């Protein structure tokens, strides 16, 4: 089972965006990276095209390595480590240090 999933609320723990929180939009499992909304914003120059008549500078989120992300504990609102526990129905469940289950956003 994965530590992070799409829709999770995560906090950046290192780098230029340290302390920012956002939801995971996309996971790139082959590269161990994730795209988080509002984090690691980059500016790209775009040529005019039939879809975008203006062109110009476009600001969007870039991927960030998952080792720099920690899920936020729903009970305390702080970043936490994750452990996997088997629930009563026999399915694996992600659990924060406080004991509360981490659910997808």
Domains of the chain: 9-95 (2.30.30.30)
As a whole number, mean pLDDT of residues 43-64 equals 91
What's the rounded Cα separation, in Å, for the pair 97 and 81? Answer: 6
Under 8 Å between Cβ of 39 and 102: no
Kindly report the pTM of this predicted structure: 0.85
What's the pLDDT tens digit per position in 57-76? 999 999 999 999 999 998 99
Q: Is the pLDDT of residue 86 over 80?
A: yes
Q: Is the pLDDT of residue 103 over 90?
A: no
Strand positions, DSSP E, the chain: 9-12, 21-28, 33-36, 41-46, 56-61, 63-65, 69-71, 83-86, 92-95
């Amino acid at each position: 089972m994965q530590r992070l999933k799409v829709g999770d609320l995560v906090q950046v723990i290192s780098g230029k965006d340290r302390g920012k929180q956002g939801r995971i939009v996309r996971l790139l499992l082959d590269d161990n990276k994730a795209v988080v909304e509002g984090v690691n914003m980059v500016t790209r120059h775009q040529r005019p095209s039939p879809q975008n008549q203006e062109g110009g500078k476009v600001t969007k989120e870039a991927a960030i390595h998952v080792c720099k992300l920690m899920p936020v504990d729903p009970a305390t609102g702080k970043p936490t480590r994750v452990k996997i526990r088997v629930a009563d129905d026999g399915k694996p469940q992600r659990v924060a240090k406080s004991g509360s289950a981490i659910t997808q956003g």
